Amino acid sequence: MALIRLAKPSDARSILDIIAESNHTPENYPNNGFVEYTAPREWAYRGRISSTPLIYSAESEGEVVGFLAAYPLSAIWEQTLANDPLVGKLKKRYPQDVYFDQVAIRREWREKGIAQNLAHTMHRAATMMGYKGIVGAIYSTPVHNITSAKFVEALGYTPVGLTQVNGLGFDIYRKTLESQKDRNARMIKKMFDQALNL
């Protein structure tokens, strides 16, 4: 079992280690992993964690075994992220959305539902904060990250376009968030339905 919690600045080192071990390798993971990704420095990652409420860690026995990082597109300031051309494109098109940047789980902890739990936690927080949707990009060329495409599709994201950045191809995926008002109404109805079925 892994506990899902908000990331702390002191998680930055573990998160960067998980990013490093999640790089795509044709031999072991032909359809998964980060491709040609330059990770930020530890101090920059600490800054990201302290300035956004949408970075989460999965922890087991005091060890960070996975993380998810998302950022409101309207409030990205940290340089390596703000200068990313992909972020620029998404910000122009979806200014009221949250950018789903990265999720990765340590290899021995994969396929246990941890990434899905992290994503549900982020979706709930983004809904409460009033964002309209979540948008992210999955590598499609030179490597198609099929595992991640299946992962986001299972979460209700749909493809909304393709883009090229620095010679790499990406599929853009988006999920519209239910408004907090609609969510509350649905929860109340569910409670009544359950009570009536007792």
Q: By the criterion CB under 6 A, which residues form the site for ligand COA?
A: 22, 32-34, 102-105, 110-116, 145, 147-148, 150-151, 154
Of the two residues 154 and 188, which places its CB atom closer to ligand COA in the complex? Answer: 154
Of the two residues 153 and 182, which places its CB atom closer to ligand COA in the complex? Answer: 153
Contact 25, 35 (CB under 8 A): no
Of the two residues 152 and 177, which places its CB atom closer to ligand COA in the complex? Answer: 152
CB 20 to ligand COA: min, Å: 11
CB 180 to ligand COA: min, Å: 25
Which candidate, 180, 75, 82, 89, places its Cα nearest to that of 135?
A: 89
Task: Give the residue nearest to ligand COA (CB).
Answer: 115
With 0-12 / 13-18 / 19 or more C-beta atoms within 10 angstroms meaning exposed / middle / buried, residue 29 is middle
CB 83 to ligand COA: min, Å: 19
Of the two residues 150 and 189, which places its CB atom closer to ligand COA in the complex? Answer: 150
